[in-house]
Amino acid sequence: MPRRVFLSAGLLLGCIALAHAAAPVEVGVQPLREVALPVSGTAPASAIAPNDSHIAAEVTAKVLRVHAEVGGTVSAGQLLLELDPADYRLALAQADAQVAAARARVALAEQRLRRAQSLKQRQFVADDEVLELETGVQAARADLDVARAQRAIAARNVDKCRIVAPFAGVVLERQAQVGGLALPGAILLRLVDLAPAEIEAQIQAAHAEALPQATDLVFESQGHRYPARLLRLSPVVEAAARTRVARLTFIDRAAPAGSSGTLRWTTADVLLPPELMVKRDQELGAFVVEDGRARFVPAPAAQEGRPFPVDLPPETWIVVRGHQALRDGQPVTVIVGAR
């Protein structure tokens, strides 16, 4: 009899335990989009002018006049400097004379050929002589082409004595001095484009792939924030720094060219706060609610004590209270918004 009582009591306790286990557990839940942390990134960046050119001399000549000063703005095609063209004008006159002489030689060679062809019909001139005159005409025409090319070079050198702005910009530096000698390749002025600047940022290679899907791109400089939009991302990784170059454009107002600062952005990734992390069967993750039951979602990339990524739809119900004691598949009663 005592043994039977003991078995009945054990059975009763088991039933109570089973009933307890089957009873739904009250948990607090919130949608993933409300509890997810924004994933942000930063990178050093600077505002780069579309063109920042060092205007150099192309010929050797004395500087006659300077028409642009530091800080002044110029329009495209505006005259910046004048170099002394005297020597090059003489070379152009010489080239003109050479063209005229070559043209005269062509005319003479053609006239001789026509006369020989006429005499050939009456058999007063041999075929070899006519052939020689035809070759002479071709050579004279080639000499004329050479003379014309030399004349074009001389004219170009004259034009190079007038240095004009290749684009609208502002003069930042001036090395040219009136009376000084300009040499080919010598920097005379520095001209920076007035067109809106672009942003150049050095993005860590590990974060670069997420940049095209990023939102809230902002360039911060000198306490100002400038919204931006990605233009292009270099596919090449710079070996030393392990970075990729990104170019962005300003959406509204632009920062002054030459400004340095920080590019900030928010990616489309989803991170949960570390306090929602639980560990089950040596795996880290979080609990969600599906069809009235708790489901454990592993997060392979999670690290204890740090926000962790999950791949779930934004409307997923995340357990935010009572998750530490939950078991996978356990029935739950939810209270929305409770933490």
Write out pLDDT tens, residues 25-50: 999 999 998 888 877 889 999 999 99
Q: How confident is the model at residue 4 (pLDDT cuts 50, 70, 90)?
A: very low
- Compute the average pLDDT of residues 145-151: 97
Q: How confident is the model at residue 22 (pLDDT cuts 50, 70, 90)?
A: low
Write out pLDDT tens, residues 163-189: 999 999 999 999 999 999 999 999 999
Inform me whether the pLDDT recorded for 144 exceeds 80: yes
Judged by average pLDDT, the poorest of 72-76, 256-260, 307-311 is 307-311
Q: How confident is the model at residue 339 (pLDDT cuts 50, 70, 90)?
A: low
> What is the per-residue pLDDT for 17?
46
Judged by average pLDDT, the poorest of 83-92, 154-163, 253-262 is 253-262
Inform me whether the pLDDT recorded for 203 exceeds 60: yes
> What is the per-residue pLDDT for 7?
43
> What is the per-residue pLDDT for 335?
87
Average pLDDT along the chain:
88
> What is the per-residue pLDDT for 240?
87
Inform me whether the pLDDT recorded for 6 exceeds 60: no
Report the C-alpha gap between 170 and 186 in whole angstroms: 19
- Compute the average pLDDT of residues 326-330: 93
Inform me whether the pLDDT recorded for 126 exceeds 90: no
- Compute the average pLDDT of residues 157-168: 96
- Compute the average pLDDT of residues 79-89: 97
**Which domains are present in the chain?**
23-37+272-336 (2.40.420.20), 40-51+196-269 (2.40.30.170), 54-83+161-195 (2.40.50.100), 85-160 (1.10.287.470)
- Compute the average pLDDT of residues 146-157: 97
- Compute the average pLDDT of residues 129-139: 88
Inform me whether the pLDDT recorded for 14 exceeds 80: no
Write out pLDDT tens, residues 274-300: 999 999 999 999 999 999 999 999 998
> What is the per-residue pLDDT for 118?
77
